[in-house]
Amino acid sequence: MFRDPSFDAGQTTAIPPARSAPSHPSDDPEVASLVALLREINAASPSLPPRPEVVAEIMTLMQDPRADSKRLARLVHGDPALAAHVLRVANSPAWRGRTRIVTLQQALARLGMGTLQEIVLSAAMAGVYQVKGHEDVAAGIWKHAIGTALFAKATARLKRQNVEAAFIGGLLHSVGRPVALWELMRQIKRRRLNSTPTAVRAAVEIGHKRVGSALATSWKLPDVVQSVICHVAAPETATDHQTTVRMVAFGAEMAHRAMHESPATLYPESAESLVPFRHSEALDLYPDQVLAILNQTGTVLAAIRAMST
């Protein structure tokens, strides 16, 4: 979690829920000055959060087909707080069975290696998506990241692509946003700036990709994750891992709609009346395939609630 000793939530300006940005927000002098502060961040910046120790290890496990449950168990048992979190999520309505899970071995048996690895990674990353004084905003970013990861994974499975890369990319695609928000609020407090919430929001939207890229380099994240962070807003610009980038972009759009649209609007009467998704055509997804992924919305929303609390 980000905490600045001088950062008093009671003295800061709350950031409201996301709203439509102006056509050219960077033309606003106030926004431009805030974006300039974010440009000072690079991979060596001391303001970047350190990589949680578990993140690198769990990513290695997720992408190693030879990984076994013993390695995962050792990793989780080495962090009591992480172990407690994993068991709590495993006992949530999203995965709860008839009997309560009390050991990691029981969680592995019920959830499987893949799902448990995803829960561990999300637990390890949760602190990065917390910004003191702006918990609601950061929580919204985090919930969307989880939803993106789950929908991207579902898409990868349908397309017979690497589901682990899709999940990791989805979970981290917006990691620059909370880091950029925290850094801006720290700078605003330190420099005693009188910045409006709208300008802060716009600056974060403009500058988060650069911050995310710097973080990915600093943390030595896999190349595919770096490609996702840098190109998810425009997958066609990705020269490497373009399919994964597109799947994450598709997952992000699906997560947004699943979280904000009513079921009556989201679910069509038939595949033919499905409201188009921007990236479905580029992924060669037929309407019935999109509908099959969309039908997992209930499961995804339950998982978001479990993994984000």
Q: What is the pLDDT of residues 217-231, one digit of tens each?
A: 999 999 999 999 999
Taking a C-beta distance cutoff of 8 angstroms, is the pair 280, 152 a contact?
no
Average pLDDT over residues 158-167: 96
**Alpha carbon distance 131, 139 (integer Å):** 9
- Residues 91-115: what's their mean pLDDT? 89
DSSP letter (8 states) at residue 2: B
Sequential DSSP letters for 232-301? TTSGGG-SSSHHHHHHHHHHHHHHHHHHHS-HHHHS-SSGGGPPP-TTTTTTT--HHHHHHHHTTHHHHH
Span 7-29, average pLDDT: 51
Is pLDDT above 60 for 10?
no
Residues 170 and 240 in one domain: yes
Whole-number pLDDT of residue 43: 64
User: Is the pLDDT assigned to residue 25 strictly greater than 70?
Assistant: no
Confirm if 125 and 141 have CB atoms less than 8 A apart.
no
Of residues 251, 224, 250, 240, the one with CA closest to residue 169 = 224
Lowest-pLDDT range of 58-62, 147-151, 251-255: 58-62
pLDDT at residue 119 in the model: 93
Contact between 225 and 213 under an 8 Å Cβ cutoff? The reply is no
Token pair listed for 122: 């999300």
- pLDDT tens readout for residues 226-274: 999 999 999 999 999 999 999 999 999 999 999 998 877 787 777 777 8
Work out the angle between the directed axes of helices 242-260 and 135-158 (0-180°, nearest 10): 120
Task: Decide if 6 is inside a domain.
Answer: no
The verdict on 181 and 244 lying in the same domain is yes
pLDDT in tens, 177-197: 999 999 898 888 888 888 888
Residues 122 and 148 in one domain: no
Give a yes or no: residue 139 inside a domain.
Answer: yes
* End-of-domain residue from the set 108, 129, 150: 129
171 and 55 together in one domain = no
Q: Which of 100, 129, 158 is the C-terminal boundary of a domain?
A: 129
* Structural domain containing residue 262: 133-309
Asked if 123 and 137 sit in the same domain, the reply is: no
Predicted confidence at residue 24, as pLDDT, reads 61
Overall domain count for the chain: 2
Question: Mean pLDDT across the chain, nearest whole number?
Answer: 87
Q: Is residue 269 part of a domain?
A: yes
Predicted TM-score (pTM) of the model is 0.86
pLDDT at 96: 79
